[in-house]
Structure 1
């Protein structure tokens, strides 16, 4: 299958921040089985301006003989008229990762595509009622070509990788005050961003990988730590919890994960058996202590989470399902996440 992938190659369009989520997970997963041409609209915008970049997108779609054009939007870089023009040359699909809180953005853009995705398990009911029946459920997942067990010795009791925000800083601070050592990396933290390979290594080297919420936090103890924290929460657009990519990436590394609870997570993993969860900050501290004290339990949960991820939550399988629903069919894959490779990965897991 020949695919035009319209996305940002770099995180938020900034090469200094490294390659984007779409590059590592969509582009790298798809190119294992398909012919993929990446159209980086953000770099095109910087080089040519918005009008010419959109013209180049339509020209690429018209001349490329693509079976499908897959889009991952950011804000207003693309022109709706250009997207409509692409649709005249090939079938189109748009991924909406954060539709739980970017609802108006989705309602504005979804009509311009043949199909669009949602990570919400209840998306069909919600969007059909909104007059958008062409939705396809597409949860986040993992690319096992890049996220995998490395059999590294454990160097960190706990770690967190993700962007800084005041609620996350407060949670990390509470763990440290409780005597728990936590390694932290990501945009906005003192240590800054780490490269992708280093992130995967850190997952593997950590006893308890923390998955901390990025939505609004109204815990009065956090709000009291700084006068502007309340204002920051009011300004945040992230008003709803959702299952995120990190849930699948940590488990794909055969690493133990302690995550905030979000509705629907139990549909992806058996809680307490394939992933551990906490409901509120004090419980998080108790759970970290509990799991640090039981190596065998952590390893059993991590191994079970890896097995479920490789069986059900790889992007190769995600794309197979989407393409089938679009009437594009599937290919016979020979990729790293097929059953024989699943067995190999499980054998190599700690």
Structure 2
């Protein structure tokens, strides 16, 4: 995996400039886990808008240099190179956030994309927010809470899909129903209920007997499945809209997902995705779609078209860059995708 890259081609909407991606290189910082979600998601989209993108993999650099040297090197490098944008996806406290507060207001615009604000806002996110020029959050409640903080500029955005990574496959489905994701008691109960009802469910992921899914399986298996399951459970009983429904829809599979209140702002429920609210509801819904495979295929195609029109990371990043005063190419917004303070 290459961790620093420059692309001197000219893509539509691209601006000349230099961006830094500050994130985990490896999945949850585990060198054996493959590339991190952050690396695979945000490097390609930043390369669409900047001629040069440098990746600072803070998990690897922390192991190599230690906390103090790594952070000192980062601050010195940013001040010397003066990139246009430092785009950070915080994980834990590998980075000295006060160091980034020192950079705030310099020639480099700093922006953090916060994950899991539904449950991380109070113990984590709110304390980092003043260290950045802009804070991007996918949670509407957190956005309002950021607005109440002094000297914090939040941007409301949402997860999306890279339609080049997650795309349909022109072939008959290999699986009736698939779930790719880590095992949790909540999810295991649903899979058990489906299998007891006679539904064949292909499962892969961390903690399942079938084994962990590769990065390729995350992308290809949904496209090879008539129906793909998604769960909205997060920390405890918290329900949240994550990236996975957008990625699944991008593959053209029929997404059957646990109900989450924000989902209807981004998809037509029943036409572009299907929701369930309980185990019995999930079983009924899946079995009904298996009896009507053409309906399932139509829902999958409609979901893919919605993603292509409105829910790509290029759309999201463009709006964030414009909001931050950097040149972007705004494509479209329904007024709810990105709200500027």
Aligned to 1:325: 323
Count of matched residue pairs: 312
Q: Which residue of 1 aligns with 2:13?
A: none
The alignment yields a C-alpha RMSD, in angstroms, of 1.7
Change (3 A) 1:292 1:128: same
Q: Which residue of 2 aligns with 1:103?
A: 121
State the match for 2:212 in structure 1: 193
**Equivalents in 1 of 2:222, 2:211: separation in Å?**
16
Kindly report which structure 2 residues correspond to 1:1-350, keeping only aligned pairs within 5 A, or say none: 1-34=17-50, 35-87=52-104, 88-104=106-122, 105-131=124-150, 133-215=152-234, 237-331=235-329
Q: 1:127 to 1:33 in 2, by over 3 A?
A: closer
CA distance in 1, matches of 2:211, 2:46: 29
* Contact 1:61/1:89, CA 8 A, preserved across alignment: no
| Partner Cα distance (1:331, 1:325) in 2 | 11
Hey, what's the Cα distance between the residues in 1 that align with 2:314 and 2:96? 30
How many Å apart are 1:325 and its aligned residue? Answer: 0.5
Q: When the two structures are superposed, what TM-score results if normalisation uses the length of structure 1?
A: 0.85
What's 2:4 paired with?
Answer: none
- Tell me, in whole angstroms, the C-alpha distance in 1 between the residues paired with 2:88 and 2:197: 45
Whether the 8 Å CA contact 1:156–1:183 is kept in 2: the answer is: yes
Distance between the aligned counterparts of 2:325 and 2:84, measured in 1?
A: 11
**SS at structure 2 position matched to 1:272:** coil
Partner residue, 1:226: none
Q: Which moved more, 1:59-68 or 1:248-257?
A: 59-68
Q: Deviations over 1:101-152 (max 9, x none)?
A: 1012111110111110110234443322344651101211111121111223
Report SS of the residue matched to 2:118: coil
Partners of 1:33 and 1:133 lie apart in 2 by 25
* 1:234-278 deviation line (CA, Å, top 9, x unaligned): xxx444211110010001111110000101100000000110000
Alignment partners' CA distance in 1, 2:56 and 2:99: 14
Cα–Cα, structure 1 residues 269 and 332, in superposed 2: closer, same or farther, change >3 Å? Answer: closer
User: SS of 1:117's equivalent?
Assistant: strand
- Equivalent residue for 2:12? none
For the residue of structure 2 that corresponds to 1:102, the secondary structure is helix
> For 1:86 and 1:78, how far apart are their aligned partners in 2?
13
1:175: how far off? Answer: 0.9
| 1:49-98 per-position Cα deviation (integer Å, ceiling 9, x unaligned) | 11111112112212223111011111111112221233235110011110
Distance 2:182 2:115 in 1: 17
Work out the CA distance in 1 between the residues paired with 2:213 and 2:264. 30
When the two structures are superposed, what TM-score results if normalisation uses the length of structure 2? 0.87
Structure 1, unmatched stretches of 5+, are: 216-236, 334-350
